[in-house]
Amino acid sequence: MLHVFVVHVENKPGVLTRVASLFRRRAFNIDSLTVGRTEKADVSRMTIVVDTDKDGARRLEAHLYKLVNVLLVEDITGTPSINRDLAMIKVSCTQDTRPQILALVEVFRARVVDLAMDSIIMEITGNEEKIDRLVEVLQPYGVMEMVRTGIVAMRRGVTTPINKEANATQVYEDTGVSYSV
C-alpha cells in the first residue's frame, strides 16, 4: 500500500541526502519525492510516497524522527487530504490531429503552454489517475516526452505545528513493532 509522508525539515544543506539515505539503508523504495519551501524561510516540506505496509510506515516515521534536521513527520495516508501531481507532456501533432488534441486538453482541464508546427506541450495538475488517463488517450497521437513532479499533499482542515516542542509531545502507541536498527 502506498503511504504518503509529509516531512518538515530544516532548510539546510545535506538534509535531503540524509533523508534519502535513511530510505536506502532501510531498503525502502521511494515512489515519489517532492521538496519545496514552506511559508517559513528556514523550513522545507517533503512529500514522500513509499510502498510499504502499516508496520513499515510506522518504522519509517520513527526513523525519520531520529534525524537531527527533521522537525515534523506525518503519515497522512487514509486521512482527508488533497494530493496533486503536475505533469508536462509533449505530444506530436499534425494539422489534422491538432484540433482533436486541443479538445482533449480542454476535457481534462489541462493547459497548452507551447505550440509548435509539429508538437504541443501541455501541463496538467491533478491526481495521478487523471494524469494517467490523459497520457493514455494521448498515446495514439505520439507522446514525445513527459515529466512529472511527483505527489504533493496537504491535510485538509488541520493546521500543523512546526516546532520541536510539538514533536517532543508526540506519543507513539506500543504495537509491538521493533524500531531498532
Rounded to an integer, what distance in angstroms lies between the CA atom of residue 85 and that of residue 126?
Answer: 5
pLDDT at 157: 82
> Which tens digits make up the pLDDT trace of 21-58?
999 999 999 999 999 999 999 999 999 999 999 999 99
Domain-ending residue, one of 79, 95, 121: 79
Indicate whether 95 and 55 sit together in one domain. Answer: no
Residue 175 within a domain: no
Task: Say if residue 96 is in the same domain as residue 130.
Answer: yes
- Taking only the tens place, the pLDDT of each residue in 94-131 is 999 999 999 999 999 999 999 999 999 999 999 989 99
Residue span of the structural domain in which 108 resides: 82-154
Q: Do the domain assignments include residue 174?
A: no
Q: Supply the pTM of this predicted model.
A: 0.77
Q: Which residue has the higher pLDDT, 180 or 117?
A: 117
Neighbour-count burial of 22, counting CB atoms closer than 10 A to its CB (0-12 exposed, 13-18 middle, 19+ buried): middle
**Coil, helix or strand for 107?**
helix
- Which three-class secondary structure state does DSSP give residue 63? helix
Dist. CA 161–CA 124, nearest whole Å: 31
Can you give the CATH number for the domain in which 40 is found?
A: 3.30.70.260
Q: How many domains does the chain have?
A: 2
pLDDT over 70, % of the chain: 87
Distance CA 131, CA 135 (A): 6
With respect to residue 176, please indicate whether it lies within any of the assigned structural domains: no
Output the domain CATH number for residue 123: 3.30.70.1150
- Give me the DSSP letters along 27-59: T--EEEEEEEE-SSTTEEEEEEEEE--HHHHHH
Helix axes 15-25, 54-66, angle to 10 degrees: 140
